[in-house]
Structure 1
Amino acid sequence: MTQETLKLEPIGGNKDASEASTLLEKRDPNKAERASDDYDPHVYREVEAPTTNAETLIHLLKGCLGTGILAMPEAFLLSGMINGIISTFLIGILCAYCLHVLVKAQYIQCKKLKVALLTYPDSMKVACEMGPQCLRGFAPYAPGLTNFFLIFYQMGICCVYVVFVGKNLKYVGDVYTSSPWSLYLYMVLIFVPFVLILCIKNLKLLAPFSVLANVITLITFGVVCWYIFRGLPDFSDRPAVGAVADYPLYFGTTLFSLQAVGVVITLENNMATPKNFREPCGVLNVGMSLVTVIYVGMGMMGYWKYGDQIESSITMNFPIKELLAQIIIISYSIAIYISYGLQGYVPVQIVWTNYIVKRLDNTSEKMKTCYEYLLRIACVVITFVLAMTVPLLGLFISLVGSFCLSALGIAFPAIIELCANWPENSNPKTLLFWKDMLLIVIGVVGLSAGSYSAIYAIAQKLASGNY
């Protein structure tokens, strides 16, 4: 969200707990209610352009149904068929549960502090201050670490999108060129359109584009299924379980595909009715259920069809000389291009609100606007440079998923919940404490094993020149 859409920034804003409390004093004269236990943070949120439940669900689906879904067949190649089906459902449940944990814990923190909203970095800082004594000294560094993971994660997604669009355009373009163009040339050609979509600052303005992208995505899935079901081989030809050494790469790819923690926090904070987000049949459960089923189906069927010949994106297994295949590849590239605008403004917002705008107090609004657009252009430049440096779609997806989302999507929510309930409801004598400790261990192991496997594989590919 930009400053035009929210007065309190939801992810990386520069309002810490004390500043938020000061703002609340100004807009909440009913101090008797604030002093009571009935304080509801949702009531005091100030959102200039709130999204409806339907709009939020559309954005959630678009945020999750990105390039990762077309990489799921390759992930199943790494995990094995049966192992992939079971593991993907379990990871989907884990992702949805951790998002519930995070949103609920932030609500508890806001209620205790009597503030309307806390950013993710501030939630980590407040958690360390509220939690066990051993975490208190880490509190000043918690926001910076959280911002680092958020920025790395969102920029990593943007890099993946650039590589995806560039590779798919090249796959189609090579059919019509006598001498195949370089992948880097295709990336240069799409640079300006990516700059333009990232310069759209209001999330609500992106909603119609997200609708279009979702329609394209559904049509693409239909065509993918049509290609897949033409002449399926024997199901028993696919091994049930893959190599143990490849499982960390599978885990990273699947976590990248299913987890959208940065977008989810932003969407929940910008809802007109945030209480509906976590209901049993609310936006989060409905959205994550649909996403998980789609990912399992795509991974299973794609691997069943193409087996060891599967590419990092299943679209590059299509018979490229067929016009239908070309249309679908180009159309889905457009959908991913639209998603770049949704994913890209999150790191822009974090950098802008935390590290730039606070240093421009004496600058005119016109110059602030110029600086903000320069930042947006710079972010696009960075993602393109990184994409050109490591154009390895599948391994880049696994690295981003393992390194960032094991922390942001699993370990950090557990830490925040443990500390938000400390010590009354979360201590070594409670089940909640040990449940959160288990999630922290899963996050740390996933980060370590997945990142090592992805970096090692990337180094091997770059050394061999086989990319």
Structure 2
Amino acid sequence: MELNNNPIRDEELETAIALVPKKEASKKEEDYDPHKHRNVAHPTSNFDTLAHLLKGCLGTGILAMHEAFRNAGWLNGLISMALIGFVCTYCFQILIKAQYALCKKHRRPILSYPESMKLALEQGPAALKWIAPSAVIVTDGFLIIYQLGVCICYIVFVAANVQLIVKEFYQFYDIKYIMLWIFIPMLAINCIKNLKILAPFSTAANAITFVGLGLVLYYVFDDLPSLSERPAFGPIESYPLYFGTVLFALEAVGVFIALEANMEKPKNFVSKFGVLNSGMTIVTILYGFVGFFGYLKYGEKSKDSITLSLPAGLVPIITQGLFTFAIFISYALQCYVPISIIWENYCSDEMKKSNHSDKYLLILRLLTTIFTFIIAAAVPHLGLFISLFGAFCLSILGLGFPAIMEICVLWPDKFGKLNWHLWKDIALVIFAFAGLTSGTFASMKDIIATFSTDASEVAKTFTNATIEQS
């Protein structure tokens, strides 16, 4: 018998043998559907998920849209709202799809955002792999900063509206004193560990928000000025503030991931006419509507929240009270996320397993509440905080990281014709970092200027009081 010693044939045979495990692994990966292995106790329907999505987006952001349009101009605001809404929705799409691909590859029913980021970087280009070990901490850090930022915005909103209500009946009180008044109630509600207790209040807060929004629009449409009185384009240096505010309003990354994870039919979340596209279309149109007409009504006299621009009277006071109560309830829900991340991931096992674990958790809740109140009292201006946290955190969490994750998941040879996915994702990353730097810089510049002005006014008041006493 003649043996075949052809080296070319031998190499082909070795290559074929080497490909067998890869093919088997690929087949196993294709056979595994993460959605079928999720164990969700109470899965939500498409309608329930849409309702939760709208709830997650309709917070203080929509009440600041008129202020955002003041920074952009009415025409630029409308065009940019549509473009940013489209980009945000698309980035949510690629984030959810990338997470699904990672779950499928690693045979995991579900992955958190930080875990997904770490696993994606580990399989991505060599230039990004070095970031993988710190991916969880970095992602958690941005999530914590963003959620604490939302809590700070809620404190400023509640205090500013309480101040306006109190002013109608009693003498004027500085907003910092108002914050001292509301500290104990907000600490008390933040100490509630069981979210089920807050559920009825949260449902009521949703209804109150829509009623309050209807009342606000009633005053907005009363005696609207001519469109010619408002500039179509605002100053270019103010545009980053618009960008940050809109991102803060539209982006709810953590909420969206949680919603998709708890759906009865998760594939319907990112389908063509699914929950995400439908919900974001409604939200974007609603934000553009409120922002456009709110700016048309109040123009350069716009205040941080549209509720602060309402005229004096009983009905406006009721409207402000409704929104104040709704946001007050939501403070505990927003604080729940950063507290959970810190407690679960960054507190020692000794603390969590200790007999005094409840006390340690209570201390964490107390420190979180104190921290948010200190920052809110330092610069009590809602619009500046909304723009800052939107630009700093959500440019990365909602735009940059999803694009990077998709690059890693598709690496090295799944980018499509002419590698268009790669170039598109690189453009998104550049756009995200440009928004982060310009928006953060503009917001910090305004915060420093405002802080200096406030400090000067306090010093002037103190000097006048000293002179009078002398």
Same-fold status (TM-score > 0.5): yes
Counterpart of 1:72, as a letter, is M
Shift of 1:217: 1.4
Q: Hey, what's the Cα distance between the residues in 2 that align with 1:66 and 1:443? A: 23
Shift of 1:341: 2.5
Query: Which residue of 1 is the match for residue 60 of structure 2?
Result: 67
Q: Hey, what's the Cα distance between the residues in 1 that align with 2:331 and 2:82? A: 26
Query: Which residue of 1 is the match for residue 268 of structure 2?
Result: 276
Counterpart of 2:248, as a letter, is F
User: Which shows bigger deviation, 441-450 or 58-67?
Assistant: 58-67
Query: Which residue of 1 is the match for residue 465 of structure 2?
Result: none
The answer to whether the 8 Å contact 2:142/2:397 transfers is yes
Change beyond 3 A, Cα 1:67–1:319: same
The answer to whether the 8 Å contact 1:209/1:338 transfers is yes
Counterpart of 1:315, as a letter, is T
Change beyond 3 A, Cα 1:204–1:103: farther
Query: Which residue of 2 is the match for residue 239 of structure 1?
Result: 231
Shift of 1:201: 4.0
Matched, 1:252 2:241: no
Picking from 121, 146, 149, the partner of 1:156 is: 149
Q: Hey, what's the Cα distance between the residues in 2 that align with 1:416 and 1:319? A: 48
Shift of 1:34: 9.2
Give identity over the alignment, percent: 47
SS in 2 for 1:118: coil
Matched, 1:316 2:305: no
Query: Which residue of 1 is the match for residue 383 of structure 2?
Result: 394
Shift of 1:203: 4.9
Once the two structures are superposed, what CA deviation does each residue of 1:210-247 show, in whole Å capped at 9, x if it has no partner?
A: 33222111111211111111111111111110111110
Q: Hey, what's the Cα distance between the residues in 2 that align with 1:120 and 1:242? A: 36
Change beyond 3 A, Cα 1:131–1:99: same
Once the two structures are superposed, what CA deviation does each residue of 1:304-356 show, in whole Å capped at 9, x if it has no partner?
A: 01111111111111112x10000000101111122223222111111111111
Q: Hey, what's the Cα distance between the residues in 2 that align with 1:59 and 1:205? A: 17
Shift of 1:57: 2.5
Query: Which residue of 2 is the match for residue 165 of structure 1?
Result: 158
Query: Which residue of 1 is the match for residue 396 of structure 2?
Result: 407
Query: Which residue of 2 is the match for residue 221 of structure 1?
Result: 213
Shift of 1:160: 0.2
Query: Which residue of 2 is the match for residue 351 of structure 1?
Result: 342
Matched, 1:117 2:106: no
The answer to whether the 8 Å contact 1:251/1:446 transfers is yes
Regions of 4+ moved over 6 Å: 31-34
Query: Which residue of 2 is the match for residue 18 of structure 1?
Result: none
Once the two structures are superposed, what CA deviation does each residue of 1:61-115 show, in whole Å capped at 9, x if it has no partner?
A: 2221111111111111110010001111111111111111111110111101111
Picking from 389, 411, 420, the partner of 2:409 is: 420
The answer to whether the 8 Å contact 2:96/2:257 transfers is yes
Counterpart of 2:59, as a letter, is G
The answer to whether the 8 Å contact 2:59/2:249 transfers is yes
Query: Which residue of 2 is the match for residue 47 of structure 1?
Result: 40
Counterpart of 2:78, as a letter, is I
Q: Hey, what's the Cα distance between the residues in 2 that align with 1:340 and 1:156? A: 11
Picking from 247, 258, 263, the partner of 2:255 is: 263
Picking from 281, 285, 291, the partner of 2:283 is: 291
Matched, 1:329 2:327: no
The answer to whether the 8 Å contact 2:82/2:284 transfers is yes
SS in 2 for 1:176: coil
- Give 1:373-392 correspondences, 5 Å limit: 373-392=362-381
The answer to whether the 8 Å contact 1:62/1:210 transfers is no
- Give 1:7-18 correspondences, 5 Å limit: none
Once the two structures are superposed, what CA deviation does each residue of 1:164-191 show, in whole Å capped at 9, x if it has no partner?
A: 00000101101111x3122122212222
Q: Hey, what's the Cα distance between the residues in 1 that align with 2:402 and 2:200? A: 31
Counterpart of 1:195, as a letter, is L
Change beyond 3 A, Cα 1:429–1:357: farther
Which protein has the bigger helix share?
A: 2
Counterpart of 1:450, as a letter, is G
Shift of 1:368: 2.7
Shift of 1:121: 1.0
Matched, 1:452 2:444: no
SS in 1 for 2:273: coil
Counterpart of 1:158, as a letter, is C
Matched, 1:303 2:303: no
Q: Hey, what's the Cα distance between the residues in 2 that align with 1:360 and 1:461? A: 41
SS in 2 for 1:115: coil
Query: Which residue of 2 is the match for residue 11 of structure 1?
Result: none
The answer to whether the 8 Å contact 1:67/1:164 transfers is yes
Query: Which residue of 2 is the match for residue 25 of structure 1?
Result: none
Change beyond 3 A, Cα 1:241–1:225: same
Shift of 1:357: 5.4
Q: CA RMSD in A?
A: 2.2
Query: TM-score with structure 1 length normalisation?
Result: 0.88
Query: Which residue of 1 is the match for residue 97 of structure 2?
Result: 104
Query: Which residue of 1 is the match for residue 464 of structure 2?
Result: none
Q: Hey, what's the Cα distance between the residues in 1 that align with 2:332 and 2:242? A: 27
Provide the aligned length of Structure 1 versus Structure 2.
Answer: 433
Once the two structures are superposed, what CA deviation does each residue of 1:15-59 show, in whole Å capped at 9, x if it has no partner?
A: xxxxxxxxxxxxxxxx99993512111222233444443333333
Counterpart of 1:304, as a letter, is L
Query: TM-score with structure 2 length normalisation?
Result: 0.87
Q: Hey, what's the Cα distance between the residues in 2 that align with 1:378 and 1:34? A: 50
Q: Hey, what's the Cα distance between the residues in 1 that align with 2:46 and 2:362? A: 30
Picking from 420, 440, 444, the partner of 1:431 is: 420
Query: Which residue of 1 is the match for residue 329 of structure 2?
Result: 338
Q: Hey, what's the Cα distance between the residues in 2 that align with 1:39 and 1:205? A: 37
Shift of 1:377: 2.7
Picking from 428, 431, 438, the partner of 1:442 is: 431
Q: Hey, what's the Cα distance between the residues in 1 that align with 2:436 and 2:417? A: 25
Counterpart of 2:425, as a letter, is D
Shift of 1:202: 4.8
Counterpart of 2:337, as a letter, is V
Query: Which residue of 2 is the match for residue 462 of structure 1?
Result: 451
Query: Which residue of 1 is the match for residue 361 of structure 2?
Result: 372
Shift of 1:205: 5.2
